[in-house]
Amino acid sequence: MSNNVKISSVKPSFHKVPLRPGISFSIRKDLRPYFDSVWHYHPEMELHYTLKGKGIKFIGDNVSNFSDGDMIFLGPNLPHTWRCTEEFYQNDPSLHVEALVLHFSQECLGKDFFCIPETALIREFFEASKRGFSIKEPAKNVIVNLLYKTLKSEGIDRVILMIHILKELINAKKSRISDFSNLSPNIDVKMSLFDSIYSYALKNYNREISLDEIANHANMSVSSFCRTFKLITKKTFMDFLIEIRVSNACRYLLEEDLDIQGAALQSGFNNLSNFYRQFKKIKGCTPLYYKKEYKKNLQHEIEY
């Protein structure tokens, strides 16, 4: 995609999920150097489990980290994409991403299957999933095993496993990801522009980015850029940039074990008090508490 994208020429990034003949839903295991999808949406629901990889995911209005073991469920037409950390784009043969991905429509098991009384809870789950869910333990491990079985299954066994996955998703501990309503495919939102903007922000988040600079990158006036960006994301560009910085600060704190000041500087915060304020606003706790809780939970998992 060109870096200079005119807003008037860009259409919504609709993704057609491929479905081979003779099956009612799609499941695959991805193995590639990095996640390379643009900011997109599709009418199918999606269950995405990251086996290997790390970076930042964008789901609706949410910006957050992903790493090994991340499982999310997306309702229909919820815009999303994954962006790996920069080392995945350096042609290092030792680095790659792996994911299990399930796509299905609300009519995949028949037009009326999810309308019968016995599937009322599934309908409620579908409705709630329009803003996305992060799936927690212990159901996550059960669902992963079911996904692997589904990959190898055929015929009626495949359908039974699909229903079993839905049952586990309904009963799983989960948290809502986004406050962004899912899109109707008919809404003329220029979402593809976002792909160019977030790529630029991810490459430059650790330095000052002015509104003039990012608007010029998008080939727009500042006022037009601010209006359009808020239409797409329901937030300002500066709020979006701060979320990217905080997400990267979390990575520096946990994966690279930097101290608070080092994580703040590496992620683009030149003022330590502002870093504390923004971190607590987004994460609900101080950076030190966040790091201690992660290490405590990690030790608990090792002992378990």
Tens of pLDDT along 216-229? 998 899 999 998 88
- Residue 7 confidence class, pLDDT cut points 50, 70, 90: very low
Position 74 confidence tier, pLDDT thresholds 50, 70, 90: very high
- For residues 20-31, give the mean pLDDT: 93
Residue 6 has pLDDT above 50, yes or no: no
User: Which pLDDT does position 251 carry in this prediction?
Assistant: 87
**pLDDT range class, residue 190, cuts 50, 70, 90:** low
The predicted structure's pLDDT at residue 101: 98
pLDDT at 61: 77
pLDDT given for residue 144 in this prediction: 98
The pLDDT tens digits of the residues spanning 33-49 come to 999 887 788 999 999 99
Share of residues in the chain with pLDDT > 90 (%): 62
> How do residues 93-105 score in pLDDT, each as one tens digit?
889 999 999 999 9
Tokens 């074990």 belong to residue: 257
Mean pLDDT of the chain, nearest integer: 86
Q: What is the pLDDT of residue 233?
A: 73
Q: What does residue 297 show for φ and ψ, rounded to 5 degrees?
A: -70, -35
Considering only residues 77 and 121, tell me which one the structure prediction assigns the higher pLDDT: 121
